[in-house]
Amino acid sequence: MSKKQWAKSTNGPDEIDVMALLTAISAVHEGHVEIVLRRFGIGFSPSIMVCCQATFDVVDGSSLPALVAVENAWPCSEHQTLWAHVYDGLHRLDSAIQTSYEQMKLP
């Protein structure tokens, strides 16, 4: 019988950090945040396009957009792991949502 062990510790964000940030952004901005991973490139390509997006339930006449999204390809020179790349994408999404608030027309 094998002995159960804790997962190895990492030096950067992992899936728990990503889920905590995703949940926080959803709660603060009252939207539905999701991460979409898709193949990027033509033919055989090891690249992944990471899209972080937030959708909002908006009423007629609202100047808040129904969707805010950011995306970037991985692997990249800034992040060694996919989780670190996704975590950074969520930070960029939070900034993009803030920018959309600042650009809203006030009544």
pLDDT tens per residue across span 16-59: 999 999 999 999 999 999 999 999 878 787 899 999 999 999 88
C-alpha to C-alpha distance for 46 and 25, rounded to whole angstroms: 29
Distances in Å between the Cα of 93 and the Cα atoms of 54, 71, 87 are 8, 9, 10
Buried-state track 62-88, b at ≥16 Cβ within 10 A, e below 16:
eeebeebebebebeeeebeeebbbbbb
- Please give the model's pTM, rounded to 2 decimal places: 0.85
Residue 11 pLDDT = 81
The SS3 call for residue 34 is strand
Per-residue pLDDT band for 5 (boundaries 50, 70, 90) equals: low
Residue 73 pLDDT = 94
The answer to whether the beta carbons of residues 74 and 50 sit under 8 Å apart is: yes
